[in-house]
Chain A
Amino acid sequence: MSARYGMVIDLDRCTGCGACMVACAAENNVPPLPARATDRTGLTPMLVHKVNNGLEGAGRREAFIPIACMHCANETPCVSVCPQQAVEVDKATGIVMQIPQRCLGCRYCMTACPYHARYFNWWDPSWPPGMEKTLNPGVATRMRGVVEKCNLCHARLHTAMEKAAAEGKKEIEMTDYIPACVEACPTNAIQFGDLANPDDPASQAAHSPETFRLLARLGTEPKIYYKSRQPWVRALAERSASGHATEGQHV
């Protein structure tokens, strides 16, 4: 198979509820961190940011931007810097695959990632006694000192591949491979699909003129697209795309 899995996130539909963040953490066996963790040391492979239009008072509006690994397709920054070759772009799926067990924790990739989408295990992952029995069998746990990030729920891709193999099919059914964040969203804001397949609705959405990508000027060719019909949200994104100064804006 040669797919290019990606997403189109409709920012007009995102209410900032955070269901995607929690579902992602549960699916990927992300541990609950000690009480002294903060938003700087947190471990949130899917993270929803809040942005605003810069106005105060009645004219103020806020929007929410879910950020996870963009699965950059071109000169992937984290891949190019890793001294361990612990991360690689999968030729078959386009997923940027991180193997935490190979990581030595130098955090060079965290510096390289323009989207701040990588997180470090500052503490030993631990769960209250008994809670480890509720971990997802499809995802290995990590240890302290390694970096992790969104892997496009590859455990669900594995399940879909097994099912396809059992049914004698060569390709998976897209209905069997739905990442946790996509499934969790109560407004269906996240559309997931194979961007290389012209019949896939996500691919069609990605090619529409309404969509844009964050920091597109860097040329990393992220596979997560965003769309919005609100002019101020587009303006904010275009500022990041074209490199204009973002004074006072919260991005």
Chain B
Amino acid sequence: MKVSRRDLLLGTAGLTAGIFFTPVPWKVLDDVSIWTQNWAWIPQPPRGPVTTKLAACTLCPSGCSLRVRMAGGFPVGVSGSPAHPLTKGALCPLGFAAHQLNWHPARLQEVRHQGRAASWEEARSAFEKACAEGPIAIVDGRSGRAASIVLQSFAAKHKASYDALRNAEEKSLAPYAKWANVSVSSLGYDLENVRTIVSFGAPLLDGWGVPGRFTHLWAERAAGESDPQLRLIQIEPKLSRTASGAWRWIPICQGSEELLAASLASVLIEEHLVPAQGPVPPASVTDAASQTGLTPAAIRELARAIVDRKPVLCISDGESPAIAALNLLLGAVGTPGGILPKSGHPLPMPPASANDKPLRAVLIDSTVPWEYVAPEGAEAFRFAAWDGGGSRAEWLLPAPGFLEELSDLPSPPTCAVATYAVAPNLLSTSAQTKTAAEFLLQIDPTLPAIDQTIRARCEEIFRARRGTVHAAKPASIASFESAAKLEQALRDGGVWLDDPPAHSPLKCSLREWPGNSGNRAPANWATTWAQPVLPPLAAKLYQESSLRETPQRSQS
């Protein structure tokens, strides 16, 4: 029998009819729909048990405690630790996405010399050669750490200069440090006991100081109240977030803060609103009125409002001797609710050394803001975990990233009570990364090792018998049997908080009213962040919403 075309067609018809009586179409449809859910380019989250480890953020001097959720050795989530005595669990907006930073496309993976790949050996020999040839400077963006001790010791031993950069908050304390002849890092603001804060542009509710510290105080004592226990007077040209939350917003023209401070001082003296006598500010209310845009009556009213509820404290954004002098007049220096020295401060700072000859080379630590430019003609050895682009440094040296570096955390700049904590390295970093301290330790192994410094500091705290360690529960220092146990508690995520300082007066001597320090461009919300890149999810704040303006990296 010959098979005809009709046979084939009928056979196919039978096949088609039959297939629907088999599982094939239904199973294939089901499987294909599942297959479409599993495209290779849809990333799958990791599986596996999630453990929570305690750590601390080292991306800014605040050193917030973190609870890091880990799966498969990688961080999969970050939140604050409520046990931290200052943050009480808060983090800055960038902190919540910081665990993704290490995989930022701009991550520096290898040593780069003038744009081409190089090796650590080449960098080391170039640096040693530079040290031999001429004066070098070591620039530290966050002094006081165990790593800073390595940098300082190297500088001292090898006749280099050590330059500790100050951020805006530390700079606001600089005038008092100068007048009282103490170090900037030994001072802080006693916000917890103040009743009126006059902020000259300092973003107290938006990135100033330790996250959570002031925001919690303000939320409890001031938010929404028409007559708050804590009066925040925000003096700045634009309606910032802090100004929106303030009790009073005083808009003034850009750059007239110091003149306003001087005229407020003169009103306070004229109207006998302050007991203290001091240098008379050479500013009249009418001068200030024309420069600030406020009426003379408004300036007088402001002066009266400032002293209405004491203690009162003025905070400037950056270094401002005039505003510091106002504080002196208001009796805010060395008294509760004002600028206080941190007592028992266990971390001595050597002064920055000066150098007149042109520098041969500069070693720039990864804590230095990306915008820092080395002096002309100096070969720059720039440590950084991320390449922000546009760097003129000859050497880009890959530093450890987020949670990859064992570090200690000295007291943050604005705190009036000393703290100490240790940030563990939860993540192992590749052999390609080194901190500036490790680099110098390889060149000179006699420098004090990080572990050594941490141990010494723990011993000092232990011997002083002051303060409490805040972990799952606060524990007084007396409850620790040995310095080693204290050190372990800190390495496990505890934070040591000193007892409130016994009030030792801060003697500031000021003969004449300081001159104006000149215009300073106000900082954009992202400029307090030293790293050249933001966590990728931060784009939700400025690109995928109009909540914040696109961050501008500015020289500061």
A–B direct touch, CB within 8 Å, in complex? Answer: yes
**A interface residues (Cβ-Cβ under 8 A, vs B):** 10, 12-13, 15-19, 21-23, 25-27, 29-30, 32-33, 35, 37-39, 41-44, 47-50, 57-58, 60-64, 101, 124-141, 143, 180, 183-189, 228-230
Pick from B37, B223, B538: contact of A10, CB below 8 A: B223
A10 to B250, CA, bound (A): 25
- Count, chain B residues at interface, CB 8 A: 70
Pick the most buried of B92, B211, B245, B544: most chain A CB atoms within 10 A of its CB.
B544
6 cross-chain pairs, A with B, having the tightest CB-CB distances, nearest first: A42-B544, A12-B224, A132-B43, A32-B536, A187-B219, A131-B103
With the chains together, A134 CA to B48 CA distance in Å? 12
Measured in the bound complex, the distance between the Cα atoms of B538 and A23 in whole Å is: 10
Measured CB to CB, the closest approach of chain A to B188, in angstroms, equals 20
The prevalent SS among residues of A at the interface is: loop
Binds A, one of B67-75, B149-157, B337-345, B457-465: B67-75
Q: Does B483 contact A (CB under 8 A)?
A: no
**Are B96 and A131 in contact (CB-based, < 8 A)?**
no
- Residues of the B chain whose Cβ atoms lie less than 8 Å from the Cβ of A138: 45, 50
Instruction: Assess whether B47 is in contact with A37, with CB atoms less than 8 Å apart.
Output: no
Which residues of B195-247 have CB atoms within 8 Å of chain A's CB atoms? 205-207, 211-212, 215-216, 218-219, 223-226, 239, 241-242, 244-245
Residues of B near A26 (CB, < 8 A) are 77-78, 96-97, 99-100, 537
Contacts of A16 in B (CB 8 A): 206, 241, 244, 547
The 8 A CB mask of B57-80 against A (1 = contact, 0 = none) is: 000000000000101101111111
Q: Which residue of B lies closest to A189 (CB)?
A: B219
Residue pair A133, B223 in contact (C-beta under 8 Å): no
A187 and B540 contact, CB distance less than 8 A: no
Answer yes or no: B94 CB below 8 A from chain A CBs.
yes
Bound-state Cα–Cα, A70 to B540, Å: 20
Residues of B near A29 (CB, < 8 A) are: 45
What is the bound-complex CA distance between A185 and B535, given in angstroms? Answer: 18
Does A22 contact B93, Cβ atoms closer than 8 Å?
yes
6 contacts between A and B (CB under 8 A): A13-B219, A42-B544, A47-B547, A133-B74, A186-B91, A187-B216
B241's contact among A15, A41, A143, by CB below 8 Å, is which?
Answer: A15
Nearest chain B CB to A159's CB is how many angstroms away? 8
Chain B residue at smallest Cβ distance from A50: B547
Shortest distance between the CB of A114 and any CB in chain B (Å): 19
Is B309 part of the binding interface, using a Cβ–Cβ cutoff of 8 Å?
no
Q: Is A143 touching B39 in the complex (CB atoms < 8 A)?
A: yes
Give the docked Cα–Cα distance between A137 and B75 (Å): 11
Q: Once the chains are docked, how many angstroms separate the CA of A18 from the CA of B94?
A: 9
A37 touches B103 (CB 8 A): no
Query: What string of 1s and 0s marks CB contacts (under 8 Å) between B280-323 and chain A?
Result: 00000000000000000000000000000000000000000000
A17 and B45 contact, CB distance less than 8 A: no
Contact B215 A15 (CB under 8 A): yes
Known contacts A22-B537, A137-B76, A186-B215, A15 near B44 by CB under 8 Å: no
> Contact: A128 with B103, CB < 8 Å?
yes
Q: How far is the CA of A96 from the CA of B369 in the complex (A)?
A: 45
Is there an interface contact between B545 and A39, defined as CB atoms closer than 8 Å?
yes
A residues less than 8 Å from B78 (CB atoms) = 26
